[in-house]
């Protein structure tokens, strides 16, 4: 199984993407934007709204994904952002949205 990246904004608002579906990760003012390749829509754009140093958040996100991939050679999951559970690997996210 592939490493899955998990995101949760609310108890009934969660999603997961395989880490190897990442096409790009960009940062901008108050945002980390992750583009995933998908079979149905071509791509999904996930935005983590931020309240801190986006560069540091990007580095932490990439390090967490790389560590999860190395540790889970047979597959696994990485909770990237969980507002309900208080988890955020970037250390700066405040919300998640998909467009």
List the Cα angle 77/82/85 in 5-degree steps: 105
Q: Does this model's pTM top 0.85?
A: yes
Domain count, the chain: 1
Q: How confident is the model at residue 98 (pLDDT cuts 50, 70, 90)?
A: confident
Query: For residues 1 and 20, which has the higher predicted lDDT (pLDDT)?
Result: 20
For residues 99 and 88, what is the distance between their CA atoms, to the nearest angstrom? 20
**H/E element, 63:** helix 54-71
Which tens digits make up the pLDDT trace of 24-35? 999 999 999 999
Which tens digits make up the pLDDT trace of 44-96? 999 999 998 999 999 999 999 998 877 765 568 999 999 999 999 999 999 99
Token pair of 30 as six digits: 């108050």
Residue-range definition of the domain harbouring residue 66:
3-98
């Amino acid at each position: 199984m592939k490493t899955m990246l998990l995101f949760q904004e609310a108890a009934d608002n969660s999603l997961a993407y395989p880490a190897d579906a990442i096409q790009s990760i960009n940062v901008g003012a108050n945002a980390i934007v992750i583009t995933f390749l998908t079979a149905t829509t071509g791509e999904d754009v996930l935005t983590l709204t931020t309240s801190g140093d986006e560069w540091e958040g990007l580095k932490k996100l990439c390090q967490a994904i790389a560590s999860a991939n190395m540790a889970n050679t047979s597959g696994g999951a990485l909770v990237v952002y969980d507002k309900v559970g208080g988890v955020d690997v970037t250390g700066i996210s405040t919300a998640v949205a998909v467009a």
